[in-house]
Amino acid sequence: MAEAAPLWATLVLPLALAAAAVATAGFDAVLSASAERGPAAGPREAGLRALAPVREALRLLVQQPRRTTADDRLLGRLGVVLVPVAAVLAGAVLPWGFSAVSDPPVGIVWFNAMEVLAWAAVWLTGWGPNSALALIGGHRFLAQGLAYELPHMLAITTAALGAGSLRIGEVVAAQDGLWFVVWMPGAFAVYLSSALAMAFWGPFAHPVARDAAGGAAAELAGVDRLVFLGGRWLLLVVTAGFSVPLFLGGGNGPLLPGWAWTLLKTAAVLALLVAGRRALPVLRMERYMEVAWTVLVPVTLLQALVVAVVVLNG
């Protein structure tokens, strides 16, 4: 059972998530730069390259926001702001070691409910500027959502099934001995792919892809763009971080305290995703849809069946 975190944790949470997002974006920038311009000459250049996302953020802060003709500002703004808000609300149930800002009895469902706010957010962002390419991006994300959500829900349900509880603290406690990833590898793999899809990042960046001139983010400039794309990194950090309590034993581990294990494991998952992204092309959604429904759904169902049999006989 997770203990309740002190009240100041509520204030620290968005800052900690933002710091993790900046670190992840920095790591990604270093890898991108060494792929484009060769390895960094020294630690100083590597550091400069890692700061590229921060420089970009500062540039966006002073950039003129863009207005389009006959746009729907209210909905567009709502969509942009909803991306980081959804990420932080989902992060509220993320245990840091063994204590979370909140550990409701239905924490897993709460996480799921908050992350689907991204569906509304991306579509609204695409709808807002009254621009065809942005709208195409928004529609792409809904198609992507329909593809990833079914296997995703079955994967997180499998973890809840293994623990016999929807409370995240109890899911972590159930992995005191054996981590769920050991006997639920299928669910873990599906979860990681849907984490990327949820953050529309890496191989699932089709909604904001270059072939649609930036898709849902096509018309965003200035602070709007910073909030939307920054929110996307937050979403990636939160969804990747949630795989730690679900499958990787949360704060459980020898020697080090719980919070350090959470940090290490989250960093490892993020590093895996950021490095692995380079090996994968951006997927078109009709392709992923077919794979998701004809391969991943049966895989997760079989995985859930195995876990259910183990739990019933255990």
Partner 1 sequence: MFDDVVFWALALPAVAAGVMVFRFDSMARATYALLTSLLCVGGEVLLLGLDYLGVVIVLMMTIEMAVMAVFMVMYMMNPAGLMPMTMVHNAKGAVVICAAVLAVLVAGILLAPWPARRGEPSADPTRDLGLSLMGPQMLTMMTLGLALVATIVATVVLATRRGRYDRYGDDVDARCADDPVRGGTGR
Q: Does 204 bind partner 1 (CB under 8 A)?
A: no
List beta partners, residue 99. 3, 96
Q: In 3D, which of 142, 122, 115, 125 has the Cα closest to residue 75?
A: 125
State the minimum distance, in angstroms, from the CB of residue 78 to partner 1: 8
Residue placing its CB nearer to partner 1 in the complex, 59 or 287 = 287
As measured in angstroms, the least distance from the Cβ of 63 to partner 1 is: 27
DSSP designation for 96: B
Q: How far is the CB of 113 from partner 1 (least distance, A)?
A: 4
In whole angstroms, give the CA distance from residue 142 to residue 159: 25
To the nearest whole angstrom, how small is the minimum distance from the Cβ of residue 197 to partner 1? 14
3-state secondary structure of 3: strand
Query: From CA 30, how far away is CA 42, in angstroms rounded?
Result: 12
Burial level of 78, CB count in 10 A (0-12/13-18/19+)?
Answer: middle
If binding is defined by CB under 8 A, does position 294 make contact with partner 1?
Answer: yes
From residue 134 to residue 173, the character string flagging contacts with partner 1 as x (rule: CB under 8 A) and all else as - is -----x--x--xx--x----------------x-------
Q: Which of residues 103-122 bind partner 1 (CB under 8 A)?
A: 104-106, 109-110, 112-113, 116-117, 119-120
Q: What are phi and psi of 99, to 5 degrees?
A: -125, 135
Q: Does the footprint of partner 1 cover residue 189 (CB under 8 A)? A: no
C-alpha distances (whole Å) from 205 to each of 17, 192, 195 are 21, 15, 12
Query: Which helix (H) or strand (E) covers residue 134, if one does?
Result: helix 132-163
Closest contact distance (angstroms) between CB of 260 and partner 1 is 31
The CA distance from 180 to 93, in Å, is 19
Looking only at residues 24 through 83 of this chain, which bind partner 1 when binding is defined by CB under 8 A?
A: 70, 72, 74-75, 78
- Smaller CB separation from partner 1, 110 or 200: 110
Q: Which residues bind partner 1 (CB under 8 A)?
A: 70, 72, 74-75, 78, 104-106, 109-110, 112-113, 116-117, 119-120, 123-124, 127, 130, 139, 142, 145-146, 149, 166, 284, 286-287, 289-291, 294-295
